Chains A and B, each alone.
Chain A
Amino acid sequence: EVQLVQSGAEVKKPGESLTISCKGSGYGFSSYWIAWVRQMPGKGLEWVASFYPGDPDPTFSPSFQGHVSVSVDKSISTAYLQWTSLKASDTAMYYCARRMAGSRAPNQPYFDYWGRGTLVTVSS
């Protein structure tokens, strides 16, 4: 069974650093892209970044470029989303999702499995 297990909720102060994680199991972790998606309270889904575990060059949404970073530890099938200086506006639920290429349109992928999300609260 494919699973993406995310780390627990975090409460931080503005300016602090944070790393949240997403551990994949039940499939070949290194063979699928992973994406991070933000959902602010009461709002819609926003794409943050996508990366391939075997490729050191992730793709970021322009809205998040320079504010977050992503990394991976293939040895433990875990992806990370990192902040060096949090802002109150980073308060949101963050989901990781596995990216799957469809058979009819391999260059227009979708997200077939999602983690349950990590709630990040940034408040002074």
Chain B
Amino acid sequence: SYVLTQPPSVSVAPGQTARIPCGGNNIGTKSVHWYQQKAGQAPVLVIYDDTDRPSGIPARISGSNSGSTAILTISGVEAGDEADYYCHVWDRSRDVVFGGGTKLTVL
């Protein structure tokens, strides 16, 4: 079955750039989606189809996907960006696959 690997945590100072990787076998051939989940809240879609942002998501949140790694990038990190971030792909053998999640800590 397909596996998505994320680091458990990423830390960054305010104003800096956070990069959250999501690894998977030939993930560059799949469409990767990203969700932000703040403490005590439901997940929110922040990136779909590798690079697209839903309306209301700021341009400083972006995504890329190539080879074996997809990356969620948050520029000019703010305290309000502190959350868990999950990558997601669709896999024919298991339908929905989520990464284990990465906790973004703003120092």
Q: B-contacting residues of A (Cβ < 8 Å)? A: 35, 37, 44-47, 50, 59, 61-62, 95, 97, 100, 102-105, 107-112, 114-117
Contact = CB atoms under 8 A, between A and B. Distances in A.
Contacts of B52: 102, 104
Chain B binding site: helix, strand, loop or mixed by DSSP?
strand
B103 to A, nearest CB: 10
Interface residues of B, number: 27
Contact of B95 (A44, A50, A105, A116): A50
Interface stretch (B9-17, B18-26, B71-79, B84-92): B84-92
Contacts of A103: 49
Contacts of A112: 45, 48, 54
Contact of A44 (B31, B90, B98): B98
B107 interface: no
Contact of A47 (B44, B49, B96, B101): B96
B98 A114 contact: no
Nearest to A48: B96
A35 B42 contact: no
Contacts of B38: none
B42 A108 contact: no
A108 B86 CA distance: 16
30 contacts: A37-B43, A37-B96, A44-B100, A45-B37, A45-B43, A45-B88, A45-B101, A47-B96, A50-B95, A61-B94, A61-B95, A97-B43, A102-B48, A102-B52, A103-B49, A104-B31, A105-B31, A108-B30, A108-B49, A108-B89, A110-B31, A110-B33, A110-B49, A111-B35, A111-B45, A111-B88, A112-B45, A114-B43, A116-B41, A116-B42
